[in-house]
Amino acid sequence: MPASPPASSNTPAVDPLVLDQAIAWLVRLRADAGRHGVDAHLQAQIEHWCRADPCHAQVWRDLMAAEEQFQRLVALPVPAGQWQGPLKRLSRSRQQRQSRRRWLGGVALGLGGLAVASLAARQAGLLDLPDLLQADGYTTATGAQRRLSLSDGTHLALNTDSHIQVRFDEEQRLLVLRHGEIFVDTGKDAQAAQYRPLRVRTGQALLQALGTRFDVRQQAQSTRLTVIEGQVAVQTASGMRELILPGEMVEIDAQGQLARQAIVTAAMDPTAWLEQTLVARQMRLGDLLAEMARYRHGWLLCDPAVADLRVSGVFQLQDSDAALDSLTRTLPVVVQRRTRFWARLAAAG
């Protein structure tokens, strides 16, 4: 099988035309492997297609990742009924696609290429595969948000592209934030026989809620914690312990070092996403676009020549195209668009 290029930090959505091509390559690959093993010439063709465009490479990675997840899935005792709703929605969605994509998808499924269905479902937001792989998992797609009520009375909000695991037992209430961002309104756990602390585990720290409302964001190499009410006890991977107070925001790096900041001095309101807005206060344009990109499918780029311009304002996360256009009225920039999946802010003139 062709080697997959290194994964990028932002996973763009699939362009339908590129998805058509990727499915066709997958059909040929599976059919060829089933007859007499993977042909070296076919491998070279797929690798050339992947190198031709970053979007091609990303789609191929997604197909391979989805296939791996399905291989894990078939070994698990998932109740059949758990599939019915998502698969019905997926079936309706696929009926609306072009006939060629439906035919290719059917052939791929016949060859065991369930990766195609998985990828299409994930991109359409119809099937949260991690929910099926782990019954205690909750996921959001790019641009989506989700609110949950847990058995202990805790209320959660999941931001865009997030995944958590919920692990409650007799000793503790543990939330494992795999990626993305959550807002936690701690429940009283009134039905428990004994006190169970509520904890959130990230890649850099273990956070214990002390009667609180707080936001946690798992970033590439760090954890950002924002405390709105109550207090949060932080224990880093290096063993450092700190108590974070209301109105404080702290970033915890991979070495376990903490950097504190008052919320009111931050360049971006860390909890404005709960109202589906992005509130900027003299924020670098490059940072603003990086934040907007979390909610968009595809690529949102910034010309280095304008990245240090400062921006203040309130932007609607559900209409980032309108937000980009508004920037051209207040800053010396233009929006360059190639497709609905690719936009770049550059210097005007």
Q: Which of 133, 162, 195 is the last residue of a domain?
A: 133
Query: Do 128 and 146 fall within a single domain?
Result: no
pLDDT-derived band at 120 (thresholds 50, 70, 90) equals low
**pLDDT reading at 75 higher than 70:** no
pLDDT tens-digit series, residues 146-191: 999 999 999 999 999 999 999 999 999 999 999 999 999 999 998 8
Q: Scan for tokens 């847990």, then name that residue.
A: 150
Q: Is residue 327 part of a domain?
A: yes
Confidence (pLDDT) at 129: 45
Mean of the per-residue pLDDT values of the chain: 80
Question: How many whole angstroms separate alpha carbon 183 and alpha carbon 181?
Answer: 7
- 49 with 115, same domain? yes
Note the pLDDT tens digit of each residue in 329-344.
Answer: 999 999 999 888 899 9
Q: Is residue 6 part of a domain?
A: no
Asked if pLDDT for residue 103 goes beyond 70, the answer is no
Confidence class for position 253, pLDDT limits 50, 70, 90: very high
pLDDT at 258: 93
Pick from 4-8, 164-168, 254-258: least confident: 4-8
**Final residue belonging to a domain, choices 241, 265, 289:** 265
Identify the domain boundary among 133, 155, 186.
133
Write out the residue range of the structural domain in which residue 320 sits: 272-347
Query: Tokens for 177?
Result: 């934030």
Per the structure, how many domains does the chain have? 3
Residue 4 resides in a domain: no
Tell me, yes or no, whether 305 and 218 share the same domain. no
CATH number at residue 293: 3.55.50.30
Identify whether the C-beta of residue 292 lies closer than 8 Å to the C-beta of residue 302.
no
**What is residue 4's DSSP assignment?**
P
Q: Which residue has the higher pLDDT, 102 or 190?
A: 190
Neighbours of 309 (CB within 10 A): 19
Q: Domain check: are 245 and 280 in the same one?
A: no
